[in-house]
């Protein structure tokens, strides 16, 4: 598909504004809860996927392993994440959500629900669903593009 210039201008302008405003609004509303995006995504991943190794976690969330390690260390200090031994290999530690981490994540989800309810109060249910589906499609497209780029780099020996 070729995007005409008007559609391109609209997309690139609105995407830039969306990213800036969405983050600013999220920070303003959720700052008192101290749940930044990386914390939320890490805890959500551990809740959904159960005990997981650091490498698998960093790969899944597209983080450098040193970045993931630092973020997990901070969550361990807060008591949100625990390490357990891998039953298949005792030398390997697995990361899992603690009870405290589960409670924190539940509260974060509640606050996010309140935030989006207030933010989108003038939208119809159909508009919310349509926007959600389009965002989902966009995110899937971005990931497919990223995977194709990685494959091309590997094919070219880069």
Number of domains observed in the structure of the chain = 3
Boundaries of domain holding 16: 1-33
- Per-residue confidence at 2, pLDDT binned at 50, 70, 90? confident
Neighbours of 46 (CB within 10 A): 25
Task: Please count the residues of the chain.
Answer: 158
Residue 96 contacts residue 75 (beta carbons within 8 Å): no
Do both 102 and 69 map to the same domain? Answer: yes
Do both 83 and 104 map to the same domain? Answer: yes
Do both 147 and 136 map to the same domain? Answer: yes
- The pLDDT of residue 86: 82
Compute the distance between CA of residue 60 and CA of residue 66 in angstroms, rounded to an integer. Answer: 14
- The pLDDT of residue 9: 95
pLDDT in tens, 117-146: 998 999 999 999 999 999 999 999 999 998
Compute the distance between CA of residue 89 and CA of residue 23 in angstroms, rounded to an integer. Answer: 41
Do both 45 and 86 map to the same domain? Answer: yes
């Amino acid at each position: 598909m070729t995007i005409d210039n008007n559609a391109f201008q609209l997309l690139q302008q609105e995407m830039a504004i969306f990213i800036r405003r969405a983050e600013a609004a999220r920070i303003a509303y959720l700052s008192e809860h101290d749940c930044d995006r990386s914390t939320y995504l890490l805890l959500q991943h551990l809740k959904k996927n159960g005990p997981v190794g650091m490498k698998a976690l960093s790969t899944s969330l597209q983080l450098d392993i040193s970045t993931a390690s630092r973020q997990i260390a901070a969550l361990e200090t807060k008591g949100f994440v625990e390490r357990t031994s891998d039953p298949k290999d005792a030398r390997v530690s697995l990361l899992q959500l603690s009870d405290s981490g589960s409670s924190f994540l539940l509260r974060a989800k509640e606050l996010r629900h309140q935030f989006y309810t207030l933010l989108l109060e003038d939208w119809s249910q159909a508009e919310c669903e349509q926007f959600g589906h389009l965002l989902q499609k966009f995110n899937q497209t971005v990931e497919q593009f990223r995977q194709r780029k990685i494959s091309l780099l590997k094919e070219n020996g880069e």
